[in-house]
Amino acid sequence: MVVPELDRLILFATASLALYLSPGPDMLYIASRALGGSVRAGVLAGLGVSIGIVCHMLAAGFGLAALLIAVPAAFIAVKWCGAAYLAYLGIKAWLGAGDQSGFRKAAPASDWAMLRQGILVNLLNPKIALFFLAFIPQFVDPAQGHPTAQFFFFGMLFTVGGLFWVLIQAVLFARAGRWLTTRPAALKWQQRVSGTVLLGLAANLALSD
């Protein structure tokens, strides 16, 4: 079993916490789902995001993510698929803004739909795979054991910590969303803001190198 030194664990935990607290695409996506007023929708979106992160971590650990660097066309293809999917979700939110009950009705169509959306949002973002390739190896010390085993150890620590954080986000944003559901005009603007956020994420992904 891989047991890193305490000082490396503390350094890793500190760096990971800083990353969790930094607003990013995952946080914005979960907020856009949970603000519909449903803790369930936010939690399912967060679980989907976490599953996507695990897939990227495994891909990076087994060297599959390196293909995104070696084959630029693969990176571009995945990037544009992800941008298109986020744009689709953003447009869908905007189109539903005219219905006073819209977002709350449409978002939790089914548990699987919410979970699937969260998974796809992360799976179709190649920058997450590259993040693992850049971040995790900094804490791997070949003298302490098999490098791949250490990579997966730190990767799972990061993922588990991130899961707790996204679940907290889901609850907090959902509570704010409940206030919106009692105010139809505010809910309508919330849907538009959510749609705009998703479209912004799509543009950011599409324009990234």
Q: Indicate whether 65 belongs to any domain.
A: yes
Number of domains within the chain = 1
Across 88-95, average pLDDT: 76
Q: Indicate whether 67 belongs to any domain.
A: yes
Across 60-75, average pLDDT: 74
Q: Indicate whether 145 belongs to any domain.
A: yes
3-state secondary structure of 207: helix
Share of the chain above pLDDT 70, in %: 76
> Residue 198 above 60 pLDDT?
yes
> Residue 101 above 50 pLDDT?
no
Contact assessment for residue 184 and residue 97, using Cβ atoms and an 8 Å cutoff: no
Count of helix runs (H) and strand runs (E) in the chain: 10, 0
Q: Indicate whether 22 belongs to any domain.
A: no
Q: Indicate whether 24 belongs to any domain.
A: no
| Residue bearing the bigger pLDDT, 66 or 124 | 124
Q: Indicate whether 160 belongs to any domain.
A: yes
Whole-angstrom Cα distance, residue 194 to residue 171? 17
Structural domain including 186 reads 31-207
